[in-house]
Amino acid sequence: MPKPPRRLEKTDTALMVIDIQRLFEPLIHQMDMVIANSSRLIRFADRLDLPILLTEHYSQKLGPTVSELSDLIPRVEPIEKISFSCAGDHHFMSRLKSTHREQVILCGIESHVCVYQTARDLLEDGYQVVVAADAVSSRQVSNRNLGLAYMRDIGVQVMTCEMIFFEMLKIARTDDFKAVASILKENPHPGRKLPEATVRKAGA
């Protein structure tokens, strides 16, 4: 059995938010879930002081990042790109290298295009890459699912937001856990009510 990858470490992880732009909103499958879970990832990263990189693909035509996300991190300047892979843009790679982080979490759109190509290139550059499966999507469900499956096949870690959160926290009742406890209690499925027991357990 292959050796598992390194656990995600607070001191070695950065978050990448890829192209969650307003023009895509009516086109992407379960865009409300992508926005809700990307918001959770951004707030989690912000409270634990993880570097956050935000990209916009050809924003002149496709519009800015949705305000639900950009308003959370007004200090983070979006990186404009025209390459499908974020790693194909030298401004992005310069910003990523300046963080000195080797573990990268990806969220955004589209799963089978910009997210997949970015993940592939970062793997080739030696980064440990994690994709938040419940914070990515595509216009068609088939492309979303195939993008995730192929990323897993080439060595990307496919995890949910909560897997990422709890792996990085490792233990409850620490200062870090208390800082993000309210995020852990949030419903990851917009429009669906969580069982009360689940809500209580997250605050243990």
Give me the residue spans of the domains in the chain.
11-170
pTM: 0.90
89 part of the active site: no
For the segment 50-75, what is each residue's pLDDT rounded down to a tens digit? 999 999 999 888 899 999 999 999 99
What are the pLDDT digits (tens) for 111-132? 999 999 999 999 999 999 999 9
110 preceded by cis ω (within 30°)?
Answer: yes
Is 46 a known active-site residue?
Answer: no
What would the CATH number be for the domain defined by 11-170?
3.40.50.850
Set 46, 89, 107, 114: catalytic member: 114
The residue annotated as part of the active site, out of 46, 81, 107, 134, is 81
Residue 195, Cβ density class (10 Å: 0-12 exposed, 13-18 middle, ≥19 buried)? exposed
Active site (annotated) includes residue 19: yes
Q: Going by C-beta distance under 8 Å and a sequence separation of 6 or more, which residues neighbour residue 1?
A: none
Exposure string over 53-71, b if 16+ CB within 10 A, otherwise e? bbbbbebeeeeebbebbbe
